[in-house]
Structure 1
Amino acid sequence: MLTFAAAVFFLIVTPGPGVLSTAGVGSAFGLRPGLRYVAGLCIGTNLVALAVITGIAAVIFAHPAIRLVLLAASTGYLLYLAYRIATAGANVAFTAAARPLGLRDGLALQAINPKAYAVNTTLFSGFSFLPDAAVAEAVLKLLIMNAIWVPIHIGWLLAGIWLHRLALAPEVQRRINIAMAASLLAVVALALFSLRG
């Protein structure tokens, strides 16, 4: 169970579309809209987990046309997001939005987020600790995952709010943007690599 918890932490804490956009919402719009967005992400990631646990995700991804559409949508969105971040110039800009992202936006992002599917597939298909009680193990895994997932995303939200309040030098802000864009491109590359098989 501790190995599973460690895997959850390291798979979720790494930058991906959810945590980067959470920081962006915090930076651009503050705590209250950020909490609504995180709630949508949380519901979305749990729906993805349930789709993985029940096998629905496997059935959907077994159809090449559906898999291609979802891959194109998620890859396109992540490339767009990486471009917007990389070209934001001297302002820390995790995401650009004219209005605060909310509950529906969080749900929608997780539905096409390749990292959400990859993480949940890894977590729920491996790290068995109750092999004779699959349902109890799945429930415990969901509880452990959420106990780690929620504080990590709240931490990224607060980091975005904190970064907004800093008066960083323009060159530092550019470097942060480039690093975040590179992280998203790495997520895209990993998603494409994992779906090749």
Structure 2
Amino acid sequence: MSIEVIFALFIFAFVASITPGPNNIMLMASGTNFGFRKTFPHILGINIGFSTLVFGVGIGLMEVFNAIPFTQIILKFLCGGYLIYLSYRIAVSSSGIEKDGKQKSKPLSFLQALLFQWVNPKGWSMSLTAISIYSPTNSLSGIILVTAAFSLANLPCQCLWALLGQQFRRLMTNSRLKIFNYSMAGLLLLTLVQIIIVS
């Protein structure tokens, strides 16, 4: 792979990572409700989960789905159901503390964020596009390079969205926070349109 193609790959990975999507919406909401530090396991889960997805697509995972068509239907239902669940979690999230001293809600864990990548419609779309363009022969070196490019591009972009959310936190009263959370939940639900269009 030439230097020019590698440069184009990193630009593609950066643009795909920085633009709004389910992950970035959730990170901004988490940063607002819980702060950057508590959101960091969520960030790592996205990074590692998406990297494994890209690698899996590269070594032929999509061929399995094409060979067994009903698995695609199952994946779409899982994706839609999980997005609805996550939208609900965002809508009811709060950074406040109950009277007994317990946190009202918790940020997404490392494992939850990792597993979400496998039902994230934008993640599948990005993976398939990147592998088909930048590793069309599915060579191991090409797959590793595409995976590494996304891993390196994702981390700073994800941190930026979480930090942006943390900055919003300073402006939030309880009533504003509720409106913000409902808005983020609504935006996340809008990503279901992508699943419906692709279906």
Q: TM-score range by the shorter chain?
A: 0.7 to 0.9
Give the whole-Å Cα distance in 2 for the aligned partners of 1:36 and 1:172: 22
Q: 1:135 to 1:22 in 2, by over 3 A?
A: same
Residue of structure 2 in register with 1:14 after alignment: 19
Residue of structure 1 in register with 2:193 after alignment: 189
Within 5 Å, which residues of 2 pair with 1:60-79?
A: 60=65, 62-79=67-84
Q: How much does 1:148 deviate?
A: 1.0
Q: How big is each residue's C-alpha offset from its partner over 1:155-191, in whole Å with a ceiling of 9 and x where there is no partner?
A: 111111111112479689847854x456434432223
Tell me the TM-score normalized by structure 1: 0.77
Tell me the TM-score normalized by structure 2: 0.76
Within 5 Å, which residues of 2 pair with 1:1-197?
A: 1=5, 2-60=7-65, 62-82=67-87, 98-127=105-134, 134-167=139-172, 174=179, 177-178=182-183, 180-181=184-185, 183-194=187-198, 196=199
Give the whole-Å Cα distance in 2 for the aligned partners of 1:165 and 1:145: 31
Give the whole-Å Cα distance in 2 for the aligned partners of 1:26 and 1:139: 31
SS in 2 for 1:191: helix
SS in 1 for 2:191: helix
Q: Sequence identity, in percent?
A: 26
Q: How much does 1:21 deviate?
A: 1.4
Give the whole-Å Cα distance in 2 for the aligned partners of 1:132 and 1:18: 29
Q: 1:37 to 1:67 in 2, by over 3 A?
A: same
Q: How much does 1:98 deviate?
A: 1.8
Q: 1:8 to 1:162 in 2, by over 3 A?
A: same
**Structure 2 unaligned runs (5+)?**
96-103
Give the whole-Å Cα distance in 1 for the aligned partners of 2:129 and 2:142: 14
Q: How much does 1:144 deviate?
A: 1.7
Mean Cα displacement is larger for which, 15-24 or 146-155? 15-24
CA RMSD, Structure 1 to Structure 2 (Å): 3.1
SS in 1 for 2:108: coil
Q: Contact 1:3 / 1:127 at 8 angstroms: preserved in 2?
A: no
Q: Contact 2:24 / 2:158 at 8 angstroms: preserved in 1?
A: yes
